Amino acid sequence: MLIATFAFAWMNLMAKYLKDFHPMQVVFFRAMGTFVFIFPYMIVKKVPIIGKHVFLLSTRGLLSFVSLAFFFKVVQDIPLGSAVALRYTAPIFSVVLAFFFLKENVKFWQWMSLIIAITGAFVMKGVDFRIDTNSFILIMLSSLFVGAVFVIVRYLGSKEHYLTIINYFMMFSIIGSLFFIHTWRMPIGEEWLWICLIGTLGLAGQVFLTKSFQLAEASTVAPIKYMELVYALIFGFLLFNESYGFWPIVGMLLVVLGMVLNIWIKRKG
């Protein structure tokens, strides 16, 4: 999980560096970099390409594509640490949607932990004027869609191969981003390195993330994912001169505290 979060943090950094590109072009780089590795492997190993639950797989692919596009757009416009922290509210929506659609039991203190996290998000928006309203709306929508994806993947987990699920995300991202090809431009110089890295880092993060959940319980490894925020804060400070006052940090801590508390309560059973 530490390797996964480090890879994702670098992927987010590459998206920040590519701020002169249209977000949909960055999405294309991210998806294609993973697709060129996964798809041939699926063919060789005879992993189902289409799957049995086409509607849910397609919904997962579409929601993930839109969520990633919104996230990359926000990463380009606001501090890196803020974007990553706000996207960590996704489990809030996951719990709520699972409560309604999967009929999962949600304890009282889980609801309280979610309130703490969402309070942290609004504290960040209220005190950090670098987070404009449009970016805040987009990142919260991105989190909502990620939460919905969590629920769909949880439902499909034992019914579809995990590579089939990931491949739908890649395919929808590649095809969807091509509708915006008129906004693209040709990379020059070192930009070619960034566009190659964003795809390979995304793939590495996905592989190690999946492996970590296979080796240990989700409640054990999931809190480690918040290291991604630490990396984002460090990268933002060192490379983009991004700094934070007392209250924005309080907001971030509330988001993380709420999410970790939610995991801890679930683990306690």
pLDDT (tens digit per residue) in 190-202: 999 999 899 899 8
pLDDT at 257: 92
Q: Residue 214 — pLDDT band, cuts 50, 70, 90? A: low
212: exposed, middle or buried (Cβ count in 10 Å: 0-12, 13-18, 19+): buried
Q: Residue 269 — pLDDT band, cuts 50, 70, 90? A: low
In the predicted structure, residue 207 carries a pLDDT above the cut 90:
no
202-207 long-range contacts (CB < 8 A, ≥24 apart) are 202/7, 202/8, 202/11, 202/30, 202/33, 202/34, 203/33, 203/34, 203/37, 203/38, 204/3, 204/4, 204/7, 205/4, 205/5, 205/7, 205/8, 205/11, 206/4, 206/34, 206/166, 207/4
Tokens of 94: 């996951």
In the predicted structure, residue 123 carries a pLDDT above the cut 90:
yes
In the predicted structure, residue 142 carries a pLDDT above the cut 70:
yes
pLDDT at 58: 97
Work out the mean pLDDT of the chain and round it to a whole number: 90
pLDDT at 246: 93
**For the residues 76-86, what does the mean pLDDT come to?**
95
pLDDT at 154: 82
Higher pLDDT, 218 or 10: 10
| Segment among 7-11, 114-118, 204-208, 221-225 with least mean pLDDT | 221-225
- Terminal Cα distance for the chain, rounded: 23
pLDDT at 218: 60
Q: Residue 263 — pLDDT band, cuts 50, 70, 90? A: confident
Distance CA 213, CA 233 (A): 25
**For the residues 24-29, what does the mean pLDDT come to?**
96
Higher pLDDT, 173 or 1: 173
CA dihedral defined by 174, 145, 100, 117, rounded to 10 degrees? 150
In the predicted structure, residue 219 carries a pLDDT above the cut 70:
no
In the predicted structure, residue 220 carries a pLDDT above the cut 70:
no
Tokens of 150: 């969590």
Please, where are the H alpha helices in the chain?
Answer: 2-17, 23-44, 54-77, 80-87, 90-101, 108-127, 133-156, 162-178, 191-215, 218-221, 227-240, 246-268
Nearest to 78 by CA among 7, 137, 155: 137
Q: Residue 217 — pLDDT band, cuts 50, 70, 90? A: low
What is the tens place of the pLDDT at every residue in 248-261? 999 999 999 998 88
Tokens of 105: 């039991």
